[in-house]
Structure 1
Amino acid sequence: MIVHKILNNNVIVTLDDSNNELIIMGRGIGFKKKEGDTIDQSQIEKQFSLSNKEILPKFTELLSEIPLEVVSASEIIINHAKSLLGGKLQDSIYISLTDHIHFAIERHKQGLNIANNFLWEIKKFYPQEFKMGKYALDVIKDRLHVELPEDEAGFITFHMINAQLNDTMPNIVTMTKIMREMLNIVKYHFKFEYDEDSLTYQRFVTHLKFFAHRMLSHHTIVSTDISLYEMVKEKYHASYRCTKRIDLHLIQQYSHALTDDESLYLTIHIERLRKELENLATSTKL
C-alpha cells in the first residue's frame, strides 16, 4: 500500500487495485509520511471503503477533524446496529453519527445538554432503534469515558432511523410528530387508552410509520378496488369517521389529503385496534 493523501497523523488515504480510495486509520500511521511512501501494515487499525462515492470526500474531511477514539467508537456502534436492526444502513451513517457523537461530547463537556422533546415517542415508536441508542451511550461511556444523558440515546435513534429510511433528519422528526398526532386523534376520538404491548397496537404504529414516510416522500398508494373501499367504509363506519378526522387534520396541517387506499388501510387498522380494546374492556367488566 502506498500513501495517496495524508489527512492527519492518524488517517491517510490509499488506492485499491481498482483505483478507488481507501481510508486507512491507525495511531501515528501518517506521522512524518508523505505521498508515495509505503504504509506500515502493522499500524493499520481501521480501514474504510464506502460504496457511496458521493459521501467519501465528506467522510475524509470529517476524519481529519475528529479524534480516532470517537471514530472507532462510532464504528463499533454502527456494526452492532447492522446486526441488531437486521437491515442495510446507508453509508451516510458514518458521517452523521460520528459527527453527532463528537459534537454531543463537546457540548456535554461544556454543560450544554439538549432536551429531546420526542423522547417518549421515540421509545414507543422505535423500540429496537432506541435499544441501539442506549447501547451507543454504553459504548461512549466505556470507550470515551463520557456519560451522556438519555436524551442523546433518542437523538442517536433518529440517526439510525434516518440511515434505514435514507431520509433527512427534519423529515424523521416530522414523521414522528405526524405519528403522534394520528395516534392522539384515534385515542381521543374513541376515548380509550392504548395497550402498547399488544401486537395490534404495534402493527398500527408500524403502519403509521410507513404512512408518514410515504407522505413526506410524496409517495402515495393508488390502486383501490372501489367496491372494497365502499364496503369497508360502510361496515366499519365508526372507524371510518375517525379516519375522516385524521384526513381533515392532515389537510389542514400538511396539505395532504388521504387517498381512498390510504383511507381504506387506515380504517382497517383503526377498526382492528378499536375491536381489540372494546373486547378487552368487556372482559374486564365480567
Structure 2
Amino acid sequence: MIIKRVLNNNTIISINSKGVEVLLMGKGIAFGQKKGQPVDLELVEKTFLLRDKDTQNKFTELLIDVPMEHILVAEKIINFGKIKLGKNLSETIYVNLTDHIHSAVERYQEGIILKNPLRWDIERFYPDEYAVGEKAIEVVRKELGVEFVIDEAAFIAIHFVNAEQSKSFDLAYEVAEITKNIEDIVKRAYNTEFDESSLDYYRFITHVKFFAQRLLTGEHYEDDDSELLDTLKKKYELEYRCALKIGEYVEETFEYCLSSTELVYLTAHIRRITKNL
C-alpha cells in the first residue's frame, strides 16, 4: 500500500488493493513519511473505510486535528452501540460522535459542563441508545480519565438515534420534545401518570415517536379513514376529544391539520393506555 496523503504523524490516507481510499491509523505511522512512499503495515492499528465520499471527506478533515486517543474511544463506543442496538447505523456516526467526544473532552478541560434539559425524556423514549450513552461515559472515564456527568449520556444517545434515521436529519431532540408534549396533553386530559413499563405505554410512545418523525419530515398518512373515525368518536368520545387536543397542538405549532387516519390511530392508542383508569 502506498501513502496518498499524510494527515498527521498517526494518520494517513492510502489506497487498498481495490483502488479504494482507506484511512490508516497507528502511532508514528506517518513520521518522516511522504506521499508515494510505502506504508509500514506493522504500524497500522486501525483501518477506516467509509463508503460515502462526503462522509469520508468530513472524517478525514476531522482526523487532522483530533487526537488519536479520542478517535479510538469514539470507535470503541460505536462498536458497542452496533452490538447493543443491533441496527444499521449511518456512517455519519463516525464524524458526529468523534467530533462530539473530542469537543466534550475539550469543554470539560476548560470547566464547561452542559446540562441536557431533555435527559429524562431521552432516557425514557430511547432507553437502548441511552444505555449506549451510559457505556460511553464509562469508556471515556477509563480511556481518557475524563469524568463526564450523566447528562452527556443523553447527548451521546442522540447521535445514535440520528444515525438510525433513514434520512440525514438531526431529529432526535425535536422528536423527544414533541413526544413529551403529546404525552403531557394526555396526562393533563386524564389527570394521571402512566405505567411506563406497560406494553400499551410502549406502543403509545412508539406510535407518537414515529408520528413526530413523519411530522418533521413532511410524511403523513392519507386522509382516508373518515368513516372509521366517525365510529370511534361515538364509541370513545373522551379519547377522541383528547386526540383533538393533540391536533390543536400540532396545528398551532406546525401548521399541520391531522388527517382522519392519524386521529384514528391516536384515539385508539389513547384508549389503550387509559382504558383501566
When normalised by structure 2's length, the TM-score is 0.97
Distance 1:226 1:175 in 2: 27
Aligned positions of 1:43-192 closer than 5 A: 43-165=43-165, 166-169=167-170, 171-192=171-192
Deviation at 1:55, TM superposition (A): 1.1
Aligned positions of 1:214-253 closer than 5 A: 214-222=214-222, 224-253=224-253
Distance 1:256 1:181 in 2: 16
Q: Which residue of 2 aligns with 1:26?
A: 26
SS in 1 for 2:275: helix
Q: Which AA in structure 1 matches 2:202?
A: Q
**Residues 258 and 225 (structure 1 numbering): CA distance in 2 closer, same or farther, change over 3 Å?**
closer
Deviation at 1:18, TM superposition (A): 3.2
Is the 2:226–2:261 Cα contact (8 Å) retained in structure 1? no
Q: Does 1:13 align with 2:13?
A: yes
SS in 2 for 1:5: strand
Q: Which residue of 2 aligns with 1:283?
A: none
Deviation at 1:19, TM superposition (A): 2.2
Distance 2:257 2:26 in 1: 54
Cα offsets for 1:125-153 (capped at 9, x unmatched): 11111000000000101111111101111
Q: Which AA in structure 2 matches 1:210?
A: F
Distance 1:17 1:261 in 2: 53
Deviation at 1:168, TM superposition (A): 3.1
Distance 2:162 2:261 in 1: 26
Distance 2:94 2:197 in 1: 33
Q: Which AA in structure 2 matches 1:181?
A: N
Deviation at 1:49, TM superposition (A): 0.6
Distance 1:233 1:42 in 2: 70
Deviation at 1:256, TM superposition (A): 1.8
Q: Which AA in structure 2 matches 1:249?
A: Y
Deviation at 1:167, TM superposition (A): 4.1
**Residues 167 and 275 (structure 1 numbering): CA distance in 2 closer, same or farther, change over 3 Å?**
farther
Question: 5+ unaligned residues in a row in structure 2: which ranges?
Answer: none
Distance 1:198 1:255 in 2: 33
Is the 2:71–2:98 Cα contact (8 Å) retained in structure 1? yes
Q: Which AA in structure 2 matches 1:250?
A: V
Distance 2:128 2:143 in 1: 23
Greater mean deviation of Cα atoms: 14-23 or 39-48: 14-23
Is the 2:232–2:267 Cα contact (8 Å) retained in structure 1? yes
When normalised by structure 1's length, the TM-score is 0.94
Cα offsets for 1:142-167 (capped at 9, x unmatched): 11111110111110011111111144
Deviation at 1:58, TM superposition (A): 0.7
Cα offsets for 1:212-244 (capped at 9, x unmatched): 011000000116343323222222211010000
Deviation at 1:9, TM superposition (A): 0.3
Deviation at 1:15, TM superposition (A): 1.1
